[in-house]
Amino acid sequence: MKMTFRWYGSKIDPIPLKYIRQIPGMSGLMGFLDKAAGDNWEEEEIKAYMDEVHAAGLECEVIESVNVHEDIKMGLPSRDAYIANYISTIRNLAKYGVKVIVYNFMPVFDWLRTDLARIIPEDGSNSLYFDEKDLGEMGPLEIVRKTAEDSHGFTLPGWEPERLALLETTLKQYENIGPDDLRRNFKYFLDAVIPVCEEVGIRMACHPDDPAWPIFGLPRICHSQDDFDKMVQLHDSPANTLCLCTGSLGSNPENDIPSIIRHFGEMDRIGAMHVRNIKFLGYHHFREASHLSREGDLDMFAIMEAIHDVCPDTYIRPDHGRMIWDEKGRPGYGLYDRALGAAYINGLWESICRIKDGKCE
């Protein structure tokens, strides 16, 4: 396994690369360029980002959030131009050593929470929180306004202002698009980009819907094993994989995460892993927990054991941390709790490898 950390670039991420390098066992980043969905990622911008990362002694073989333009998801005639940009971005990223691109195919919203800083009464820390009841009362425009307000000036991944400015129009356009239409548009996209990925040695890794069910009546087609079985069949190739995010899929207790990891790992369809824990509070109601198994409802040992057994060479990042020790940071993406998460995941990994293989490399 390669332990990585999400980093937003020195302009918008307050965490210095030096600190990331100092986390035990950290090999590199799941990198990010602050670009609008549909834009071409120019070579010079990628080079500048990579130079900075490499100079800090880190790798960057995974890039996250090359966001798919809404016109591609909606299947509009303008999609071909955006797909051409996507292909050019894939080619440019490959030139700088990128092996995996994490993306998603969720209409309009990427991940969604109803509170970005819910206090955890037991210890006074705070974490991302979701309660569908609050959502019902809020509506899409209200949630976008609240999320922007609560993010303390930090841009949030998947919440690009340019895209959300068109929210009302986009929501209207989706009224006539059902899950089958979305899947058809997804296939059109994959048919265009996967052959290029095969040629340049990149794997596309689709992130699950977060939370793992449809919201605001929008079609969502990536939140269960069954959905991903269909997704990998849309264009059957080792380059068409998923980014198995334990906390996103795990927000629905019906998703048995270790078993889903085994299923797709055995098929060699896991491109990357996001590892985090969830505490269930009721129906469609949860908060994010520290990574430790006993502080949430996911069995992190069983998750790491499944990774060990079926995709031991995959890229992992500790996903969303709580805010602890009075850190002021991007919600979900502070330094401290994610670093603790990495240390814990490394600990599990060492024990699992020692027990099962007699050694840990």
Q: Which is nearer to ligand DNO, 155 or 351 (CB)?
A: 155
Position among 58, 98, 102, 215 found at the interface with ligand DNO (CB under 6 A): 102
Task: Please report, as residue ranges, which positions from 165 to 184 form the binding site for ligand DNO (by CB under 6 A).
Answer: none
Q: Residue 337 catalytic?
A: no
The two tokens of residue 300 are 């992190």
Q: Which of 60, 129, 174, 207 is catalytic?
A: 207
- Give the Cα separation of 275 and 245 in Å (integer): 6
Q: Does 111 bind ligand DNO (CB under 6 A)?
A: yes
- Give the Cα separation of 217 and 87 in Å (integer): 31
Per-residue binding letters, 40-69, with ligand DNO (x by CB under 6 A): ------------------------xx----
Q: Which is nearer to ligand DNO, 64 or 131 (CB)?
A: 64
The two tokens of residue 61 are 């073989």
Q: How far is the CB of 311 from ligand DNO (least distance, A)?
A: 18
Residue 131 phi/psi, 5° resolution? Answer: -135, 115
Q: Which is nearer to ligand DNO, 103 or 154 (CB)?
A: 103
Q: Does 341 bind ligand DNO (CB under 6 A)?
A: no
Residue 13 phi/psi, 5° resolution? Answer: -110, 120
Q: Which is nearer to ligand DNO, 37 or 340 (CB)?
A: 37
Nearest to 129 by CA among 107, 146, 105, 153: 146
Per-residue burial over 201-214, b if 16 or more Cβ lie within 10 Å, else e, is: ebbbbbbbbbbbee
Start-to-end CA distance of the chain, whole Å, equals: 10
Q: Does 332 bind ligand DNO (CB under 6 A)?
A: yes
- Give the Cα separation of 140 and 146 in Å (integer): 10
Instruction: Name the residue with tokens 């500048």.
Output: 48
Q: How far is CA 315 from the centre of its chain?
A: 12
Q: Which of 131, 227, 319, 337 is catalytic?
A: 319
Residue 155 phi/psi, 5° resolution? Answer: -75, 145
Q: Does 107 bind ligand DNO (CB under 6 A)?
A: no
Q: Residue 245 catalytic?
A: yes
Q: Which helix (H) or strand (E) holds 197?
A: helix 179-200
Position among 28, 38, 140, 157 found at the interface with ligand DNO (CB under 6 A): 157
Q: Does 158 bind ligand DNO (CB under 6 A)?
A: yes
Task: Please report, as residue ranges, which positions from 267 to 306 form the binding site for ligand DNO (by CB under 6 A).
Answer: 274
Q: Does 118 bind ligand DNO (CB under 6 A)?
A: no
| Catalytic residue set | 207, 245, 274, 319-320, 333
Residues that bind ligand DNO (CB under 6 A): 64-65, 102-104, 110-111, 157-158, 207, 245, 274, 332
